[in-house]
Structure 1
Amino acid sequence: MIAVHDIEHAKRQYHDLLGATFIDANWTGNPFGISVAIAWDAGIELCAPLPGRETDSAVSPFLATHGEGVMNVFFNVDDGDAAMEKAAAQGYGCLTSLDYTQDEIDQHLGGLFKRYQEFTVDTSARCGFTVSLARIERKTDTIL
């Protein structure tokens, strides 16, 4: 996940650089005051403060401290619960978690996956960014 000030500019930049095709995923970011765009084909998620939320969105503190850049790194794991338990045993807390139903996957993620579970781990003090442990199982008949 890359924190940016201007999501439209960043989408053009990564499209031109990598050929990334972005879909808007604002439904996932609105509660946190952020715009979200995901390019499954390039493995990039962009997030930027919503207009009027430049100082109080979930991404604002990162942008104020670090500027634009990598804010979160996703790692695909076979078992999300086990991976989070292992992280917790190492002293890492869970900031947020989600486990989408198939209906939510079909509605919001284009039906690309049969499982989408994610734990955001509080690694920023030790790593400078957060880590997400994600169990993402794509459907065998989809192409990313």
Structure 2
Amino acid sequence: MKPQGVNRIVIAVKDLEKSKEFYSKLLGATFHDANGTGEPMGINVAISWDAGIELIAPIPGKNVFLEQLIEQNGEGIQAVVFEVDDADEARDMAESAEMNVLVPVDYSQEEIDQHLEGMFTKYKEYVLDSTAKCGYTVMLGQIEPK
């Protein structure tokens, strides 16, 4: 497994639209609606692939954990997505380092087309239980553009 660098940072925000506007003005970032990827978890999602930013905002009443996290800590970096060339091998390495997988994500091409504008041929991520060790959530992603 070879690391490919940081793919993006995930920032927890209260107001998705205001945050999109802020980062668009600050960085010239272009955001893509990825709400379909977050709705099952009670979050709205917007991703700027060009700026390497993913914004997540709780859907009111649907994600109490994220609402409480923002209330206690304020808005800010929630996770870092490290891009890797082999997500499964990276997962195995993480588990050998005593970092358990919380959530595996492996989108079919149909899901990529529906939720991520068909931008990729592969989109596989592992969300690790890393907050206690790292202070943030580590995500390992094998993301292959078309």
TM-score, normalised to structure 1, is 0.89
Gaps of 5+ in 2: 1-9
SS at match of 1:42: coil
Residue number in structure 1 paired with 2:109: 102
Do residues 28 (structure 1) and 37 (structure 2) align?
yes
Distance 1:117 1:58, change over 3 A: farther
The amino acid that maps onto 1:69 is: G
Q: How does 1:34-73 map to 2 (within 5 A)?
A: 34-53=43-62, 56-73=63-80
Residue number in structure 2 paired with 1:123: 130
The amino acid that maps onto 2:27 is: L
Identity over aligned residues, as a percent?
51
Do 1:47 and 1:59's aligned partners in 2 also have CA atoms closer than 8 Å? no
Displacement, 1:52? 3.8
1:75 to 64, 76, 82: 82
Residue number in structure 2 paired with 1:142: none
SS at match of 2:64: coil
Gaps of 5+ in 1: 140-144
Runs of 4+ in 1 over 3 A off after TM superposition: none
Greater strand share, 1 or 2? 2
Question: Structure 2 CA distance, aligned partners of 1:107 and 1:34?
Answer: 17
The amino acid that maps onto 1:26 is: N
Question: Structure 2 CA distance, aligned partners of 1:58 and 1:47?
Answer: 13
What RMSD, in angstroms, separates the aligned Cα atoms of the two structures?
1.3
Greater RCO structure (CA 8 Å; 6+ sep): 2
Distance 1:58 1:118, change over 3 A: farther
The amino acid that maps onto 2:11 is: I
Query: Does 12-21 or 24-33 show the bigger shift?
Result: 24-33
Do 2:35 and 2:115's aligned partners in 1 also have CA atoms closer than 8 Å? no
Query: Does 15-24 or 61-70 show the bigger shift?
Result: 61-70
